[in-house]
Structure 1
Amino acid sequence: MTTFNRRQLLGLGLGAAAAVSLAACGDDDKGPATTGNGGKDYTGPKVTINLWNGFTGGDGDIFKKLVDQFNTEHANIAITVATYKWEDYYAKLPGAVSSGNGPDIAVMHMDMIATFAARKVIQPVDDVASALGLSESDFAATVWKGGLYQSKRYGIPLDMHPVGMYYNKALFQKAGLDPAKPPTNRSEFEATLTALKGAGIQGFWISPFQFTGGMTGYSLVHQFGGALYNADATKATFNSDQAVEAVSWLTKLIADGHSPANVGQDADYLALKSNQNAININGIWQVNDLKKSPDVQWGVAPVPQIGTRKAVWANSHNFTIVQQKTTDANKVAGAKVFINWLSQHSLDWAAGGQVPARNAVRDDPKFKELTEVNTLAAELPDAAFPPAAPGIGDVTNLFYTAFNEAVLGKKAPKQALDDGVAKADKLLEDNRKKYGS
């Protein structure tokens, strides 16, 4: 996922995650680390620690700068970072691990954790949380629970990245709207679109693609009181009355002329930047991109509550510990130092455009100075995360396909969602057989 995609949030936690879990991974052991004192420093022989991630956007630049700074300050620890597009990353990881060429630490999205846990690519880290005294009270509850699979913890949360509402202030002014008062609910949102249309502006371009029209649809299904799956993720429910109402509301906006009928991939966002589109629901990862466009007058706000409750699409990056054929205790100690150091530079990481998962970091006055990111931190309690079920990402893609068909007018919303659910239920059944759960 991304052009996208951080924290005092690991806190001391991640260091212990690396220490405890890496030590538990292997069949062999190269012996005790030369030194190790809880991750504060490491004086053993030079050690190389491999870390994989998918930070290909602006957040990746920040991550690399932090790694370079760490390596400069630590002559005896070398962190090597391999960065792939997320889709390539997830395809490559299982084979690399089985061949003994996997990383020591892997960054992973919340909705992928169950899949890789079921495939035994990553290790449980319950001992980490226990040793550090970490609990749900230290994190946003939804983010903390997202690292669980079959009652075991496989991820230590780094952040949460939601969608938010970006708006073009110049177009608001052209339509006689107050750019300091973006819409917050359905009536205000619809009135805003009416005013924009009156000024000759198609104010809300709706993309038929997952990025990011599908994410808007996902958010609204939950806002209207629905969900994509039942409680135990054994059945798809994104053809419920609530889901049909949500998608129908969006398609009616197109029919009413508030959006072009066939918006290209990313055209909705580019139109916002070129003063053609007034409102774009997009990911928090666009904050830093917009900051690079000084000629664009823009603002960002939480997604308006269109339905009966607040809800937004969101995901979360977690640190996971990869299975190893052998254990190197010096790597364990070095990993502790790196991750503890990273936690001390969490505000730099959050500046990459992520909402820290850890409560204490979000309460830090310096984080609150990151105005735009802090604005979307208000959405954290409303994050609608996917369930922890193996293969759930592939199933959710069927919702995005159905959404695409409805938005492009290939099928009526109900028919598109019914057809998608039929395929999703079959895939859920196949996944239970495949993963044994």
Structure 2
Amino acid sequence: MNPSSLSPPGPSRRALLGAFAGAGALAAVGAAGCAAPSTGGAGRTRLRYWHLFGGGDGVNMAAMLDAFRAEHPDIHLEDATLEWGAPYYTKLGMAGAGGRAPEVAVLHMARLTGFAPGRLLNPFDLDLLAEHGVTPADFPENLWTRGAVEGRQYAVPLDTHPIVLYYNTDICERAGLLDGEGRIRPIEGREAFTEAIRAAGEVTGQPGLVIETLGADTVGPWRVFSTFYAQAGGTLLSADGSEITIDEPKMLDVLTYLRMLADEGLIVPRVDYQGTVGVFSAGETGLFLNGEWEVSTFTNTGLPFSMARVPNVFGSGAAQADCHSFVLPNQDGRGGATNEAAHAFVAWMLRNSVDWASGGHVPAYLPTLDEPDYLAMRPQSEYRGVIDEVALDPPAWFAGSASSMWLELGAVFSGVLIGTRTPRDAVDEARSRLEDLLQTPNPFGESA
């Protein structure tokens, strides 16, 4: 995975659990979010853009920004890459609260609810976006509507980054799992998935599947659980994010299945995030469940692999995901040339998102999905159909990438995979932790 853009390993994220403010963060924002003139010299419009992309994503983003600059000599684009996770969102929130934020920023869509739209964020001018060739009809309805609050559009999706199935083509061919075109055969149901894992393991003499099971900041177990629970039709919270709606039989069913995989030695035991990448890179296992952002890692190693949607194990093709989206952080008196430049920038990035897709993310801008350059991009285009079945986090301030919910529930489900919790205990503990999160006030308050 691209550690800087999605879920970096290491203890810092847990230490920052729930952190949205602090003297150090405020000082950083004071320096980075200072009010700026609307021009960047020689009559050019100054446009400031904050994002959190590092690694391969950072390289792709830098190339896109250079291309934008070349095509827009009248705009002086200044970009800043900030530290992924809680530090980024702390700085972005404090900048918006002070009304002295950058013109454009990146936000994980599932975190929108916690960002007090209307107070920390300004809405997009849809007419202005349309002038630059981008309209609501250009996006999957579920992703577009998730960016709206009380009828106003506060987030415009750039992509969706779902969990997918990586597979070693050499191992899977020997296991009889590939079709005549070298793609993994359709897998439907838990028995078929279990047998596919077993077949891959028989080729290597080791567990056939690797997933993250432990670590200082374990979110892999959350991603896998969330995928299968969504496939079963389960929910955690009500549509407004105010009440717990856990379906205990479905949750227990999913967790029992995951525990069975561990107990029968079908998954690699006790492995953290970086360990999973290493195991699959070394050709030690045939199957790997993880986010699509590791495509560059395996491509660069020359590993014989491909990617597919997560199989329908529990009743649908749903896959846990989040979306990188563009937002307009709150500025006092937003408008004029800088605001128009911000809309032009967002529209250009979307219309050119085929370049962004090389890092594995599925473009949210639907016209890109039909571009020949994207369709020729393998394996990145192989799982594009998931865009209609992505399972975003429930709308709550404590949900979304790098969120309290990921860390809290990830730790609970990790216990199931490594044998320190029973599935029944995990259901009870997950409910208890969700209750605590619901009772914790949003550090940024409610929307205006």
Q: Confirm or deny a common fold (TM above 0.5).
A: yes
Which residue of structure 2 aligns with residue 116 of structure 1? Answer: 115
> Match for residue 207 of structure 2?
202
1:219-258 equivalence runs, <5 A: 219-238=227-246, 240-258=248-266
Deviations 1:75-112 (A, max 9, x none): 44221111123212112112233445521101111111
Distance 1:431 1:311 in 2: 31
Distance 1:71 1:137 in 2: 27
1:53 aligns with 2:57: no
Contact 2:238 2:244 in 1 (8 A): yes
The alpha-carbon distance between structure 1 residues 101 and 134, as it changes in their structure 2 partners (threshold 3 A), is closer
- 1:192 and 1:251 map into 2 onto residues whose CA distance is 17
Which AA in structure 1 matches 2:304?
A: Q
Cα distance change of structure 1 residues 150 and 383 upon mapping to structure 2, 3 Å threshold: same
Task: Indicate yes or no: 2:315 matched with 1:305.
Answer: no
1:382 partnered with 2:407: no
Aligned mate of 2:187, from 179, 184, 189:
184
Structure 1 gap ranges (5+): 6-27, 35-41
Structure 2 CA distance, aligned partners of 1:372 and 1:272? 16
* Equivalent residues of 1:224, 1:245 under 8 A apart: no
Partner of 1:17: none
* Aligned counterpart for 1:407 among listed residues 417, 423, 436: 417
What displacement does 1:204 show?
0.8
Cα pair 2:105 2:327 within 8 Å, conserved: yes
Contact 2:69 2:77 in 1 (8 A): yes
CA contact (8 A) 1:3 1:285 kept: no
- The alpha-carbon deviation at position 335 of structure 1 amounts to 3.1
User: What residue is the counterpart of 2:155 in the other structure?
Assistant: 155
Contact 2:170 2:304 in 1 (8 A): yes
Kindly state the Cα deviation for residue 49 of structure 1 after the two structures are TM-superposed: 1.3
Paired residue for 2:16? none
- Tell me if structure 2 keeps the 8 A contact 1:146–1:385: no
Check the 8 A contact 1:207/1:214 in 2, yes or no: no
Residue in structure 2 matching 1:435, options 431, 442, 445: 445
Post-superposition offset of 1:378: 0.9
Cα distance between partner residues in 2 of 1:161 and 1:244: 26
Counterpart CA distance in 1 for 2:379 and 2:142 is 22
Q: Which amino acid aligns with 2:309?
A: P
1:335 aligned onto 2:334: no
May I ask how many residue pairs the two structures share in their alignment?
405
TM-aligned CA distance change 1:337 to 1:239, over 3 Å:
closer
SS in 2 for 1:351: helix
Task: Give, in whole Å, the separation in 2 of the partners of 1:372 and 1:3.
Answer: 22
1:278 aligns with 2:286: yes
Q: Contact (CA 8 Å) 1:169, 1:297: kept in 2 or not?
A: yes
| 8 Å Cα contact 2:46-2:75 kept in structure 1 | yes
Separation in 2 of the partners of 1:373 and 1:276? 23
CA-to-aligned-CA distance 1:417-436 (integer Å, 9 cap, x gap)? 21121121232133479735
Distance 1:337 1:248 in 2: 50
Once the two structures are TM-superposed, the CA of residue 134 in structure 1 deviates from its matched residue by: 6.5
User: Is the Cα contact below 8 Å between 1:110 and 1:146 reproduced in 2?
Assistant: yes
CA distance, structure 1, for counterparts of residue 338 and residue 125 of structure 2: 20
In the alignment, the residues of structure 1 paired with residue 307 and residue 417 of structure 2 have an alpha-carbon distance, to the nearest angstrom, of 25
Distance 1:232 1:79 in 2: 37
TM-score by length of 2: 0.81
In the alignment, residue 53 of structure 2 is paired with which amino acid? F
CA distance in 2, matches of 1:177, 1:125: 47
CA distance in 1, matches of 2:74, 2:136: 35
Gapped runs of 5+ residues in structure 2?
A: 7-34
Separation in 2, partners of 1:146, 1:112: 10
Normalising by the residue count of structure 1, what TM-score does the alignment of the two structures yield? 0.83
